[in-house]
């Protein structure tokens, strides 16, 4: 089977030391600051990013446990397919957050709305442009009735490898 090797472009610095207690989405993180420390060799790629008010961060859920196809997410008691949730225990442990960009200084991108654990490996930054989407969303499935809880909800560690002694989704070496 074909595989693809991803190399972090930087590290996310946030006040959240571990999964447990971390806000589950940027909307719940409020003004929580964070810094995307891009490795110096990638800093030229940040040119003109500061014109955008919001950016998409793609990163690795490096502390997540093994993949689960059915999960009980933080916002519901029922089981749902992992692809209909944002749970970290995904086949490919890719996380996505749309955060507010405050400023760029050299290789450091200052953010608000940080909902990632400190030390999270950063894979990509993209400008957030809602007008690029194929519209929507109009329907939010099982989340429809639970959306109001997202702001106050915090990670309880249920998907973290370290809580249960399982192996982390950490990377290989090269």
Residues 90-129 that bind a second copy (CB under 8 A): 90-94, 96-100, 112-113, 121, 123-129
The Cα 20–Cα 18 span in angstroms is 6
Longest dimension (CA), the chain: 45
Q: Looking only at residues 74 through 93 of this chain, which bind a second copy when binding is defined by CB under 8 A? A: 79-86, 90-93
Is residue 168 involved in binding a second copy (CB under 8 A)?
Answer: no
Element (H, E) at 164: helix 161-164
For position 136 contacting a second copy by CB under 8 A, the verdict is yes
Residues 6+ apart with CB under 8 A from 158: 72, 74
Distance in angstroms (rounded) separating the CA atoms of residues 145 and 147: 6
Question: 17 or 69: whose CB is closer to a second copy?
Answer: 69
Q: Which of residues 143-162 bind a second copy (CB under 8 A)?
A: 143-144, 147, 150
Burial class (CB in 10 A: 0-12, 13-18, 19+), 14: buried
Q: How far is the CB of 63 from a second copy (least distance, A)?
A: 13
- Only one of the segments 13-21, 134-142, 155-163 lies at the binding site for a second copy (rule: CB under 8 A); that segment is 134-142
Q: Which is nearer to a second copy, 35 or 94 (CB)?
A: 94
Q: Which two tokens stand for residue 39?
A: 């490795």
Which of the stretches 4-12, 13-21, 159-167 binds a second copy when contact is defined by CB under 8 A?
4-12
Told to check if 25 binds a second copy by CB under 8 A, we report: yes
Please, which of residues 39-68 interact with a second copy by CB under 8 A?
Answer: 42, 44-56, 58, 60, 62
DSSP string, 122-138: EEEEEE--GGGSSS---
- 167 is a site residue for a second copy (CB under 8 A): no
Q: Kindly state whether residue 13 participates in binding a second copy, applying the rule CB under 8 A.
A: no
| Backbone torsions φ then ψ of 97, nearest 5 degrees | -135, 135
């Amino acid at each position: 089977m074909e595989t693809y090797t991803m190399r972090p472009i930087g590290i996310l610095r946030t006040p959240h030391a571990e999964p447990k207690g971390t806000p589950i989405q940027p909307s719940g993180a409020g003004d929580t600051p964070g810094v995307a420390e891009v490795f110096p060799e990638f800093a030229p790629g940040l040119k003109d990013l500061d014109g955008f008010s919001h950016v998409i961060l793609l990163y690795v859920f490096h502390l997540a446990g093994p993949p689960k196809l059915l999960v009980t997410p933080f916002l519901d008691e029922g089981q749902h397919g992992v692809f209909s949730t944002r749970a970290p225990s995904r086949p490919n442990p890719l996380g996505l957050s749309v955060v507010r960009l405050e400023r760029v200084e050299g290789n450091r991108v200052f953010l608000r709305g940080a909902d990632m654990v400190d030390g999270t490996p950063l894979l990509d930054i993209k400008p957030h442009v809602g007008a690029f989407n194929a519209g929507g969303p109009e329907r939010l499935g099982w989340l429809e009735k639970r959306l109001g809880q997202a702001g106050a909800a915090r990670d309880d560690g249920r998907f973290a490898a370290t809580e249960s002694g399982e192996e982390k989704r950490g990377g290989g070496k090269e």
